[in-house]
Structure 1
């Protein structure tokens, strides 16, 4: 369908679905919801004007996905100020790195939860991962490990809600499917000669900057 005016866009039932998803912080790509993605592709120019009235930009990432980026200088913040936690950032960066690994292509990017957590431990070390996750090591190593896994589980749920991943199953049988939008976590090192090596170094050094992923509002 060809849209000529913003009014035609708003009258389409797909508008409400797309607008609500975007305002909740979701990233919409061809592998997230093809209907919404096709709608945004057809209406992006008109939708850009619509969101511009609210000091919010509708952007399209390098991999094609759409998302909203509020003006950080707007007062009050148009979509709230929620930012990803350090564990959410680390998990997203790790999944972006794993998406670049061709071995997961053979599994259609169905990556076990345990493999993601294992790679983070490998790159950061258990003490480093615990520290960056905002936890202090206690006397009970078993409890520390459980708390760290719980923080990781919360991070996966957040990434799923924001359209970065899909999930199948839970616990030891759980798998994560990183969607195209997860590559947004690679933006701080995009343009590097070897993106995978640069991203691996970013994770290993724990370089989590507040402005790396400052635009994942969920409307709250």
Structure 2
């Protein structure tokens, strides 16, 4: 087992052929979010109408094209992220932010759920002033709503490095292993504790 999550230690790996995700065309836009385990973030955004593709990878660090092992070991500065390619005529950036927030614990510092360390911190990587303004506005709204500090970072996007192929579409390729991890990690329970019926951010879709 390569992924350093103890709850997976005894679950056998299911060998499944990679799932194709299609290609976004020139009319699409992209956004990059770090919300802890990128397997889970992929699953969350794949459910959003208007999202064309999701890709797990790394952003925010100082090492070019890092491996997964380098990132989880620490010291690269990178975060596990997902690049979301979407059709802006079907879903806008504000809606993606709505989904992002309701799939993270915005109060957690250098961790998300059972995953600890700098690579699991929650971050919104913005591309341009308009995205940053919107991201900061939503963070401020949450700080006021919950009356506490929001730990999620907002940083300028610089580079995205795709993770190894076995991480892409992991929740589809290895459903038993993935679902055991997700359940044991307590992700859904914590999201419901924070967000209630809003958890997942897909109400009304």
Which TM-score applies when normalising by structure 1? Answer: 0.28
Larger Rg: 1
Structure showing the higher strand proportion among its residues: 2
